[in-house]
Structure 1
């Protein structure tokens, strides 16, 4: 497999080359691995393969890329490759078998997302941006529909085929159990609360993961709605977004709404700077109406009410303080994985991806992630379409919300695929 940088529009045009031409001898990367991940995620979840299928598909994609004669890498993707290599270096801090397994879960989030983005970038002959947007919209529908099921069947767990293959002892591990016997909702009963909080989680183990997926995928749905020329498609997607707000509110997830607000504000600013004042005014007016509706419906009170019985802000603050103190003792390679904080009762290296990177992979790991995010956002900021603005808002929001949110495989993959679409469009003039 030959790796090379993808050239920007200016360099290619100066040489008079058509950047969209392909050698007939090159193998075409098939679409089915990425389609299976996105369109097939409901089946992956029902089978209990949420922690296995993405990695299996990533290795299949690698095999196809090895067979292809020429693989092009967008310049900022080298930073992601270096980050993955650095994660391997950080294994020097691991202390045993359980640490290795925990490190592996965190490493695969980075590894898989990098492979997915690279594969899409090189699959121009078989995978269009429109089809990947469709796949992400399909994933969004999976999240929303299961969110509705969680409202009505909050105590239900799916008995997957994987649950019969996993040794009984491993099922005692809460995380393993939640992956192979996945619940529809995360049921929480904070001390003093009058009733339990039933927070949609499926197809993920935790409500926060559901919220982050909703926050990253909703701008993609709006992008699809903006790009569509069919009234009924726009109407159906718009109604779906309204329906999706019901399980979203049920999660009482502040960070999710903060992320969505960042995306909306970013798009409005880009529209204003591009002179699209009418579109910006329409977006602002719609946002104000939604905000008023949430307030009048009692949704805001519900979201803030959970905080009266949960001191999550104070607990996080103390955890972050302890995490920073620990990082100073191993600033370069970190600790490889999370470690328990017995005073707080929560592991250091959790409760936010910034802290996970810093604690597990040191300040170098955090720096590489930030360098990739910022350079990718800047290098793809030349997009001028409304649909492109919404896609670009996803990494922008991710770069802000990663302070308090932890990224799992599908959330990171969604963000990476948005960036990959923008990267490919920037290099090959695909219209975003």
Structure 2
């Protein structure tokens, strides 16, 4: 079988080898690495093509990739709500994800440009095998959930490398995640991935291809399909994966609506029977109880919501347009500003900002513009291909819908998005019009690259100007050790947490003190003053962002001083309350103790001695409380105010300017090329089509034109630019001499007006190709003052 995949004429072998060989790659520990390896032969195949065609609307994806690449410039800036500072590992994370985006781009182009070498059915069968492997991995996760062993690659890697969490997840063999949020341990299938969510997304996007591929063929094949779907239902429910359930439900609803709108009653009946079967299984088996238990225990809802909101708020506050390039670690956790992972609670540290969903990853990594480009591309691919009629096209639409539905809960960068882009390539194969070539789409931008570069630099300069005008605040930081103290006047209760201390440190008296000291509005001070904490400690971190170093230091020192003064007052008030109440209690206990002691002199009852002992113990406790109220420390400043001027604002503003400038330059080039640029004002080699100019003559000079046309006979006739009366007149005269016939499937000449737009010519050329007409030359109409073609025209005509 392997040698069949490797045959040169079998262009689908890289994709087939990826999915059919999955068990081997998993055991070797190179399962996801193989996607990068197989991208190499695909890229080599594309480079050998004279023209690399791409799906319609794919230019938006290319712009998205460029916009995402800009994020490398802001990858080290501080994000609000995240741990400040730089980390070189962010470049590795960014590079890994960006490489995934590149290889899914390659596979989409590869699928489009191999339509004459490998059928869509063959590619769908490869993805169908992926679903079979996912079901097999799910069954392993249910039957042997404790299975965990090193892969071949993990055993040969140095322990310092293999122990890294990122590397460990990639190369380690495990079958399930065992979690107990239902109140007991439950195995959630994950093989061949480290996490159940990755398994769930891949299973969902490969399911429609499995149905489309295996529903055709022999009765044995269809029976096997039903058996595998039954096992798949068992693993899908056992995964407790609500995102996958929603994706499967959305795909099913789409199929039902599509079948009803097209009158496919047989498909509607089959869908109804399948739905009834699934409902019966859930109702009369323990799987239904498992589903209900999962909905009764939405353990991850709060964490996902908090992380998503924090990611969005951080982006809107810090870098709304370009984002932050890569993810960031959260400062604290959602329970406390001093929260963090410990040996006793390793999961007390939340996931990084920008994770737990492709939606949040796109927003945090690429900003709002990146989100618009990403969503715009995905939605366009769905809408423009809704008329796809083949089973493979319908499966591809279902996969794209699953990717959209699961954006808030699944990070799609990986195998799931890879399968989705194979689907985009399959949908492009069914488009009735001629697909655009990458070189033709990029040609105007390459020709005007200098213009785009100048506008981008101007945008960066504008961002720099905004930074100069608005300035960048200097942030001063001071650390305060806050010992536990009774601030509520009730001994023995839980001491105030650092979150409560933070509220005191940002209270109205503190803000007012800083405002009076700096002579600034209180609202300005409130926004400039921020509070953090060292993880798992009693150390508060006060930060104040001032216009200059003096204001920053004075602001944070004033805030710290006022906070400690306020805390001293609260401790004093608490002590006064405790002393008043416990002194009275102490006197009362002394009186009772004396009275009972006198009674015990005459009657030494056992119960009286027990009462005396109890009173004596309580008297000691009261004395300890009173002793503990003396000279309690309010807190201590443990670091001097340290000013720091960050380049975050400068980097974000300049990068945003560069990005917006580049987008403006691209838009200007596109508008000029399609609507403003005239054919007669540029060389023929820059018109974007690969046919020569036959003649460039006056519209009235028909004899001279006929002489040039004879070199291209036989042609079926001449077609004219419909927007140009002059071109139509010349075409009519030429067709009368040529006795033109049916143009379909024949060679023709195009008559174009030199005053026409270049975009008009390009669209006419593509439209004729799509309708089966093959233009082989151009006739350019000129006025009487410009009859001779330019040098480029003469050279092209001579060469032809």
TM-score, length-normalised on structure 2?
Answer: 0.48
Using a 3 Å threshold, how does the CA distance of structure 1 residues 290 and 156 change in structure 2: closer, same or farther? Answer: same
Give secondary structure in 1 for the equivalent of 2:177: strand
CA RMSD of aligned residues (A): 2.1
Question: Aligned equivalents of 1:417 and 1:387: distance in 2?
Answer: 11
Q: Which residue number corresponds to residue 32 of structure 1?
A: 13
Instruction: Give the superposition deviation at 1:266.
Output: 0.3
Question: Aligned equivalents of 1:386 and 1:181: distance in 2?
Answer: 36
Say which structure is richer in helix: 1
**8 Å Cα contact 2:188-2:196 kept in structure 1:** yes
Instruction: Give the superposition deviation at 1:278.
Output: 3.6
Instruction: Give the superposition deviation at 1:63.
Output: 2.1
Using a 3 Å threshold, how does the CA distance of structure 1 residues 278 and 34 change in structure 2: closer, same or farther? Answer: closer
Q: Which residue number corresponds to residue 75 of structure 1?
A: 56
Give secondary structure in 1 for the equivalent of 2:329: strand
After superposition, residues 160-199 of structure 1 pair within 5 angstroms as 160-190=151-181, 193-199=182-188
1:241 aligns with one of 198, 214, 229? 229
Instruction: Give the superposition deviation at 1:417.
Output: 1.0
Between stretches 320-329 and 297-306, larger displacement belongs to 297-306
Q: Which residue number corresponds to residue 137 of structure 2?
A: 146
Question: Aligned equivalents of 1:71 and 1:38: distance in 2?
Answer: 25
Give secondary structure in 1 for the equivalent of 2:145: coil
Q: Which residue number corresponds to residue 531 of structure 2?
A: none
1:338 aligns with 2:343: no
**8 Å Cα contact 1:338-1:350 kept in structure 2:** yes
Between stretches 242-251 and 298-307, larger displacement belongs to 298-307
Question: Aligned equivalents of 1:29 and 1:74: distance in 2?
Answer: 22
**8 Å Cα contact 1:253-1:303 kept in structure 2:** no
Q: Which residue number corresponds to residue 755 of structure 2?
A: none
Instruction: Give the superposition deviation at 1:268.
Output: 0.5
Question: Aligned equivalents of 1:152 and 1:77: distance in 2?
Answer: 43
Q: Which residue number corresponds to residue 230 of structure 1?
A: 218
Using a 3 Å threshold, how does the CA distance of structure 1 residues 428 and 140 change in structure 2: closer, same or farther? Answer: farther
Question: Aligned equivalents of 1:320 and 1:44: distance in 2?
Answer: 34
1:49 aligns with 2:21: no
**8 Å Cα contact 2:120-2:392 kept in structure 1:** no
Q: Which residue number corresponds to residue 206 of structure 1?
A: 195
Using a 3 Å threshold, how does the CA distance of structure 1 residues 167 and 51 change in structure 2: closer, same or farther? Answer: farther
**8 Å Cα contact 1:28-1:68 kept in structure 2:** no
Unaligned runs of 5+ in 1: 1-26
Between stretches 388-397 and 141-150, larger displacement belongs to 388-397
Question: Aligned equivalents of 2:416 and 2:204: distance in 1?
Answer: 9
1:313 aligns with 2:285: no
| 1:157-204: CA deviation from partner (whole Å, max 9, x where unpaired) | 2422211343312333223212111211112233xx542121110111
Question: Aligned equivalents of 2:294 and 2:12: distance in 1?
Answer: 43
**8 Å Cα contact 1:225-1:238 kept in structure 2:** no
Q: Which residue number corresponds to residue 371 of structure 1?
A: 376
Q: Highest relative contact order (Cα 8 Å, sep 6+), 1 or 2?
A: 1
After superposition, residues 280-429 of structure 1 pair within 5 angstroms as 280-306=268-294, 308=296, 311-328=299-316, 329-341=318-330, 342-344=332-334, 345-385=350-390, 388-427=393-432
| 1:24-44: CA deviation from partner (whole Å, max 9, x where unpaired) | xxx978332222222222222
Using a 3 Å threshold, how does the CA distance of structure 1 residues 280 and 124 change in structure 2: closer, same or farther? Answer: same
Question: Aligned equivalents of 2:374 and 2:10: distance in 1?
Answer: 28
Question: Aligned equivalents of 2:413 and 2:284: distance in 1?
Answer: 33
Question: Aligned equivalents of 1:50 and 1:103: distance in 2?
Answer: 20
Instruction: Give the superposition deviation at 1:426.
Output: 2.2
**8 Å Cα contact 2:393-2:426 kept in structure 1:** no
Give secondary structure in 1 for the equivalent of 2:154: helix
Instruction: Give the superposition deviation at 1:309.
Output: 5.1
Instruction: Give the superposition deviation at 1:346.
Output: 2.2
Question: Aligned equivalents of 1:278 and 1:61: distance in 2?
Answer: 39
Between structure 1 and structure 2, the one with the greater Rg is: 2
**8 Å Cα contact 2:326-2:365 kept in structure 1:** yes
After superposition, residues 269-288 of structure 1 pair within 5 angstroms as 269-288=257-276
Between stretches 332-341 and 204-213, larger displacement belongs to 332-341
Give secondary structure in 2 for the equivalent of 1:81: helix
**8 Å Cα contact 1:209-1:408 kept in structure 2:** no
Using a 3 Å threshold, how does the CA distance of structure 1 residues 98 and 149 change in structure 2: closer, same or farther? Answer: same
Using a 3 Å threshold, how does the CA distance of structure 1 residues 390 and 291 change in structure 2: closer, same or farther? Answer: farther
1:267 aligns with 2:281: no
Question: Aligned equivalents of 2:253 and 2:271: distance in 1?
Answer: 9
Question: Aligned equivalents of 1:197 and 1:408: distance in 2?
Answer: 27
**8 Å Cα contact 2:27-2:151 kept in structure 1:** yes
Number of equivalenced pairs? 400
Question: Aligned equivalents of 1:348 and 1:363: distance in 2?
Answer: 16
Give secondary structure in 1 for the equivalent of 2:148: coil
2:42 aligns with one of 58, 61, 76? 61
| 1:295-319: CA deviation from partner (whole Å, max 9, x where unpaired) | 3313233134245555211111111
Using a 3 Å threshold, how does the CA distance of structure 1 residues 260 and 100 change in structure 2: closer, same or farther? Answer: same
